[in-house]
Amino acid sequence: MEKFTAHVGTAVPLRRSNVDTDQIIPAVYLKRVTRTGFEDGLFAAWREDPDFVLNNPAYAGATILVAGPEFGTGSSREHAVWALCDYGFRVVISPRYGDIFRGNSLKQGLLTVELPVEAVEELWDLVESRPTTTVEVDLEALEVRADGRVWGFTLDSFSRWRLLEGLDDIGLTLRHEDRISAFETQRPAWGVVVS
């Protein structure tokens, strides 16, 4: 995983709540067996509407998505995170996320920032009135800054450390392989074995 310390970019306002992962990437786009090229599936149904915000040239090149509460609920498909990343997003800001989506995003280096509803509304107003507004997302300082305003956010210290260091989870776990082997010797003898 790439390190994430801070990101500066422009932002897209997505004034919707309950943006489930079926909207972020519909199921027909999940058939691929590779890990790249999912940008065409991002919000595929909504992008057919010329008025959809991602079709607004004013937001071309934006790297931060600002959405309403319950972003990424529903299906566990990590493809939703891949689609956002492949499209060019580095950060999502929303008041609340679906848990699985949040976990997936932090493993892929897509920073999902939680800000209160009021802050999200301020950001929406700001980038709607001036789409070129630069938004700074600082993981070291745990701050979002835009137009002279500053919003603090929190992230559990382990996820933050992993993102700042760009660490691979599996590698970290395999450091404790002896513990895993020791645990395995104590599992009940009648436990399920498939083969």
Partner 1 sequence: MSRTLAQKVWDSHVVRKADGEPDLLYIDLHLLHEVTSPQAFDGLRIAGRKVRRPDLTIATEDHNTPTDNLLTISDPVSRTQIETLRRNCEEFGIRLHPLGDPEQGVVHVMGPQRGLTQPGMTIVCGDSHTSTHGAFGALAFGIGTSEVEHVLATQTLPQNTPKQMAVTVTGELPPGITAKDLILALITQVGTGGGRGHVVEYRGPAIEKLSMEGRMTVSNMSIEWGAKAGLIAPDDTTYAWLEGRTFAPKGRDWEAALDAWRALPSDPDAVFDSEVTLDAGTLSPFVTWGTNPGQGAPLSASVPDPESFQSEAERAAARRALEYMDLRPGVPLREVAVDVVFVGSCTNGRLEDLRLAADVLRGRKVADGVRMMIVPGSAAVRAQAESEGLHEVFTAAGAEWRFAGCSMCLGMNPDTLKPGQRSASTSNRNFEGRQGKGGRTHLVSPAVAAATAVVGRLAAPADL
**Are 10 and 64 a contacting pair, CB within 8 Å?**
yes
**132 vs 178, beta carbon nearer partner 1:** 178
Q: Minimum Å distance from CB 104 to partner 1?
A: 4
Residues that bind partner 1 (CB under 8 A): 15-18, 20, 22-23, 26-28, 30-35, 45, 68-70, 73-79, 81, 96, 98-100, 103-104, 107-108, 117, 156-158, 169-170, 172-174, 176-177, 179-180, 183-184, 187-195
Q: Minimum Å distance from CB 102 to partner 1?
A: 9
**56 vs 108, beta carbon nearer partner 1:** 108
Q: Minimum Å distance from CB 189 to partner 1?
A: 7
| Interstrand relation of 91-94 and 111-114 (parallel, antiparallel or unpaired) | parallel
**Are 39 and 86 a contacting pair, CB within 8 Å?**
yes
